[in-house]
Every structure is written in structure tokens, then in C-alpha cells.
Structure 1
């Protein structure tokens, strides 16, 4: 079942309850109003009939001749019957259309009306008794009661009136039919309109689903079309696009690992193969072979450390556990590291300067730190002319230790510094002079610096060289490695 169908069903069920409640409430209010109107008509008719009766101290007299117009009920005369009876129950007067085939007795008429007439119609009945006005002269009252009542005079008259309820019942049935019909019509119209509105409101969801189906693992650059509604759907679209960004970054990290691995493994592998090929060109002495094997062992060990480090870099931050962090005294370690470049053709151009008297204690992984500095020194050698100095210095500044590598080569344009650490980005000058590289070295160096809770900054000027500074937090000996 689609969301459109579920929403439509929910809306129609709720509307049905509302219409049902409204119809029932309207019916009962209208029924109460109709009943009240009938009762008011009956009370008005009773008052009119009682107005024809003359009441005094010598008896009660029916006088229709003098007040005939009072008994005219033109508005609902066909729905009203009435009769007047004396104290013995004999009918004194009655309406023009009395109850069909009613006996002359008042009790029989009332009983028949209460039970329903010959057609099964129901009536609303009202009764009232008009008695003689008592006199203040008790002697005359006793004499009058002992003598015969005057003709036309009665001790009391009973007035009974009844209104036919068939029109009221017919109005009730008609009202119920109208309410039911209108409710059904409103419900059917709401069915069509509600489904249309639901489909229109959920159209962005369908577009989001269609756009999401276009996203393929081979190309994660596709994004959902942004919505300008600033509602929950726009929030969903933004969240989904953010998720795609994270997925793309994850895939890029995997691709970058392959490129990083090839970039970092090529140099030691080339050195190993070169030494092996040279040793195989002709017969060597045992000492020569031992020297070659020692070089291969050193390069293989370095290669193993690089592979371990690259595997670590390929993991997510949550999965990464920095291997073998150690407390390094850079004052002693840095000279040994620079000495490891002794077999490089530019070794004599490298000048090490210690600008601090402190030991420069930092927490780092020696192999990764050496790889980071290898990248900086390698770039300094590639982008500066042989014979120009490459300055490596150590200093402290406000709780941090700085290793600076400065060359005096071609430099980098100021407008290219912002993207310098972006993977695969190479400066215009590097491409112009044809220096080998794929633009991954500095991005790897920056990631390594951040693994040590440090940072890598650069200042450069075209034609005057570049200066890279590795900032590392200074440690205290008793704290141990982090």
C-alpha cells in the first residue's frame, strides 16, 4: 500500500467520523427545534380555545358565537383537532374536522388519540380544565349549588387539543435523508480531492525516489534536486545529500588509498630492484652481496612500515588506532633522520639548525614522522636547483615544537596555496617544469600531521621558494605517550 493510499484512507476515515458526528448533532438539534415548535403551536391553540370560554361566579359558559374568529387556525387547521367536554365528559364543542369515528365520550377520544388514529398516525395531546370562579358570598354559593344549574352554564369545562405529528415525522425523515445524502456527497468529493491533494503533496517524495534511483556506486556525484520549500522534505533532501557526500568521501578515500600506496611504495621498490639488478650484472664478492642484501633489508623494512602506515590511513577515524606512538626527543632524533639522507644526491645541500635548547619532546610514530619529512624534503629537492640550500630547523613556540623545511626554488603562486593540500592538485609551475608526481605527497603529509594532533602550514612566494612548517604539541616526559 502506497503512502498516498494510506494517507487517503486515514483522511477519509477521519472525515467520515466528523460527518457522522455532525449529522447526528444536527439531527438532534433540529428534532428538538421541531418538537419545540409543535409544543408552542399546541399551547397557542389551547390558549385560543380557552379564550372562548366565559368564566364567572355562576358557572362556565361556552361562547363560540361572540369570539368565532379566535378559533380559526388557518396555518395548521388540518393538523389540529380539539374538543370541549363538561364535567360529565360529554362533548360540548369540537373542531370542524373531529377525530374520525370517535365516540362521544372524551375519555374514548383521548385514549384513541394516544393509541393512534385509524391510519396509525401519532398525535401530541394537551389538556386544560376551566372551573367556575369561586364567590365571596358562601350563602349564595350554597343556594346556587342546591338549585338547578342555568342552561348553558357548567361547573367546569375540560379543553383537549391534539396536533398531528405526521408532518414533524416527515420533516425528520427528510432531514435525515438530506444529511445522509450531503454527507455521502461530501465524502465522495473528498475521496477524489483528497487523493489528488495527497498525490500532489507527495510528488516531491516521488521525485526524490526517482533521483535516488539514479545514484550509482560508479558515480556518486549525483545529488537529489534541492527543494525551496524549507519543510521536512527539504530537510530530508539535505540529509540524504549529506549522506551521499559522506559515501563519496568514503569511496574517494578507498581510491586515494590505491594512489597513495602506489606513490609511497614505488620508491623503495625501485631501489630494491635497482640494487638487485646491479648485483646480478656480474659476479660479486661476498661482501658486495652482503652489502646489497643489507640495503634490500633496510628498504624492505622501510617498505613494510610504509605499508602498515598506509593501511592505517585507509581506515576510518573510528577504526584507526595509531600504531606505536612514542615519545621522541627531536633534538636527538632529527639529526639521525637527516643523516638517513646521506645517500641522496642533494644531501650536501641539506642544512640542519637547532634553534632551541630544549629537547623538543613530542608524541609521534617514528616511521610515519620520517615519511612526513621525506615528503617535504623530497619536494624541496625536486622544486629547487641542485646546489641551492635546503634549510631544516627545529624550534619551540608557545607549547609547540616546529620543524621547518625551507627551499629556495621556484615557489608557489599565492592563489594556489589554498588548494595545495588537496589530493591530486599540483601547482602550475610544477606542471610547467615537468616535475614528476601525481599530487598526493602533501595531502598525505597533512593527514600524517593531523594524526599526531599537529598541523602543516606553508608560506611561499613565486620565484623565491617555499617554507613548510610542521607543528607538533610539546609533551612532558612524565606524561608518557598519548
Structure 2
């Protein structure tokens, strides 16, 4: 369809340009003969005859009079009898007009002569008056013929240009709306495909109203989504199953180590078990927050969740000799969110801040009407690492802190699910993570 339309446009354009160019370059070959014939016919209509039936005079009217007055030596005429005798003629006859003594050929309807270096076209028109045969010959120079034709063509070209412009505009609009209508189903498919993300892998492209040429592509895309959804489901199921299966053995191992009593390696073994338990718990969290159906949104008090996080991490902070304080406590707006997911998000941020802060440091939490910010006193994040910090299992090179690289990825997943903004505020020393609940743009 598109190829045919483009071919039609090109063909019409080329033909139109060819016709206009041909008329513009040599219009007399198309219209000069017609104009000379028309002028001869009008002269015959204005001929006057005497009582004996001989032509006596001719009345030049309209444009014939104008052209004759402006170019007296460029337009000539004469009336002859069948024997070639000139009965009536204009003044200043061209020198090469056949004289009365020359052979007169009434069958020569049109021929060319040259007079004083100028070319003329002579046309013979037969007519009768009162039963007698006569012939009118007109001689129009090439120059005058071109002037007459161009003068006649000027309004024609203007009209054609206007009509062509209007037609082209209408044609372009028609093509635009035609293509717009043709591509509307494709745009719907494209928009639907763009809305599909890991959070809604169950969505599929609608096949209603899709052109038959595009339907196989949409069906193949839906098939690919089916396989992707199944693979993602299997992955999440594996994470959850592995985490659940590992929690019980880790609990038993911890119990056995504690029952051994004092041991030089007991503290180290318990620390390793706690770290493994933390990794397992994070695997559970990443599996849970990746599925929308796991979220149970309700009106949630942000301040209460922050206090709960501080209590939960109290012992861990005491162990590292780090204090957790709320520096600014505004009355935050109630959120429509899953309380457990918000707790995991804030807990991971505060826990990371505690881990990277030195002894005797203070981790501060700022609560505003629409955001929560967590500030640590660690060494800060290398700007080159900022694009990667929210990726799963990513850990900075040379990182001396324990962890699997899942904490911030979990935070990002939760924030992205609710449309919150999670970023690092680089305008302050150390590191400051900010969660904006209403989509406000912060200083990043």
C-alpha cells in the first residue's frame, strides 16, 4: 500500500512537471496553430462585401485590433479567389507572400515563409459568400505567435498553479490521514508493548483491529512474553523455595553451634551463620517484592514505620557503637502502601548506613511531609559507581563490607513499584539516600 502510494505520487509529479515544462518551453507548437485559426475565423465573420459580392473591408475587433495596432508588420491577412487573385489585403504585406502571378495552391492549408529574416506561418481558410468560393490567408510571425500564446497562457498557468497547489495540499492531507489511520493499530501495539514491564508480565498485546500483515508479529511477541513470564516465574519460585529451604538448616546449625559452649571459633561461626541468614532473607524479599500480588496496600503511617525500623536495628547499631536518631520529624502524609514493603525499604537503607559508618558515628533520619532521608557518616560512594548501586548482586570493587548486593536492589524495586523516587543526594557530605513519595524532583 505504501509503495503504491509513493509510486503514484512520483508518477503524477513527474508527468505534471513534464507537461508544464513542455508548455513553458515551446507553447506555440501546441497553441499557436489554434490561435491563428481562431483569429482567421473571426476575420471571416467581420468581412463586408459590396453589391457585386466582392470583399470590400474587414472590421478588426477585440484582441485582433490590439495585436494589429501593436504589431502592424507581424500580422497580415488577404482574401483571394480560387485563381489566387488578391481581392483584399492588409497594409504592409510581407515580401514573401505569394503574389497574384504565383501559383496558388488552395490545398496548402498551412505553410511557413520567411520575410526580412523573420519567420511567418501562413494559414489558408476557405469560405463561401453568396455562392462564391473565397480564401482567407493570415500570416502571423513566430514572434507575435509566441507573444499571443504566452499572453493567453499566463492566466492559465496562474490558475493551474493555484489548482495544483490546492490539489497538492488536499492530496497531502489525504495521504497523511490515510497513513495515520493505517498506522493507528501499529501505534496501539507499540504503546501496549512499551507498557509491559517485569511488574506486569501478564499483559499481552491485543490482536483486535491489527492489520493482517502485522498480526504474526504481535502473536510472536505475545508468545515471547509467555516464555518470558514462565521463565521469570520459575526464577522467582526458585528464589523463594531456596530461601525457605535454607532457613531451617541455618536455624539448626546456629542451635548446634550455641550448644557447643565456649569455643574459639564460636563467635566467627555464629557471624557466618547470621550473614547467610541475612542473604537468605534478602533472597526471600527480592522474590516477594518482584510480584505485584504480594503487595497489600493500605493507609500507612510513615513515622510509625521509621520508629519500628529504629527499634528493629537497635541491637545491631549498639553492637557497632553507632547511634540512630531522627533529626527532623515532620508529620509525614499517610501513604497508600504495603507497610511491610515500606519497612523493608527503610530498614535496608538504615542498615546500610549503620554498616558503612565508623564507631561513635550517628546515622540521622530526616522525615518531611513527602520524603524520608537517611544520612550516614561513611566514606561516601564513588561517583563512577552510582549508576550501578541499585543493580542486583552488584558490589563495589574492593568493598570491605559484608553483603550480597541485594539490599539496595530491593529498595529500588519497592520504590519503582509505587512510583516513588529513590536517589542519592550528592549535595551533602558522606551519603544521603532520599525517598520521595510524591514524585518531587530532588537535588541529585
**TM-score, normalised via structure 2 length:** 0.43
Larger RCO (alpha carbons 8 Å, 6+ apart): 1
**TM-score, normalised via structure 1 length:** 0.40
Bigger CA radius of gyration: 1
